[in-house]
């Protein structure tokens, strides 16, 4: 899929949520995508995405809604840094192998 196509993936099922050949700011799609997932499947507690989604707005939204993400951390490490890194690594690996690899089949 091209750069301007936004896809949600749940259990290896892909949902094309935005298709455009015009430029747009994809980091603005994170919150609506998350809300779509919750509407379709119920609340989720984990999300993975490319670095472009790690905006302050998206981070605050995730913090308010208790969503663990694969976003690179900002600031100094907390007391659960090792566990946070493990979760981030798992989410990033899953995102890369499932989402990116799914369109190369």
Local confidence pLDDT in tens for the 105 residues of the chain:
334 445 666 666 777 766 777 777 778 888 988 888 888 888 888 887 778 889 999 999 999 999 988 787 787 777 888 887 888 788 777 766 665 555 554
Q: Name the pTM for this structure.
A: 0.61
Cα dihedral sign for 86, 88, 89, 95?
A: positive
Cα dihedral sign for 85, 97, 94, 62?
A: positive
pLDDT at site 1 = 39
In the three-class reduction of DSSP (H, G, I as helix; E, B as strand; rest coil), residue 7 is classed as strand
pLDDT at site 96 = 66
Tokens of 55: 């905006």
For the purposes of burial, counting CB atoms within 10 Å of the CB of 49, is it exposed (0-12), middle (13-18) or buried (19 or more)?
Answer: buried
pLDDT at site 18 = 67
Cα distances (angstroms) measured from residue 70 to each of 1, 11, 86 = 22, 17, 10
pLDDT at site 6 = 59
pLDDT at site 103 = 54
């Amino acid at each position: 899929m091209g750069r301007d196509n936004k896809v949600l993936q749940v259990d290896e099922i892909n949902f094309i949520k935005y298709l455009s050949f015009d430029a747009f700011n994809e980091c603005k799609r994170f919150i609506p995508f998350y809300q779509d997932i919750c509407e379709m499947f119920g609340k989720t507690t984990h999300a993975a995405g490319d670095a472009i989604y790690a905006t302050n707005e998206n981070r605050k939204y995730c913090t308010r809604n208790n969503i663990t993400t694969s976003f690179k951390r900002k600031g100094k490490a907390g007391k659960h840094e090792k566990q946070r890194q493990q979760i981030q690594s798992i989410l990033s690996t899953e995102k890369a192998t499932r989402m990116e690899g799914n369109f190369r089949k």
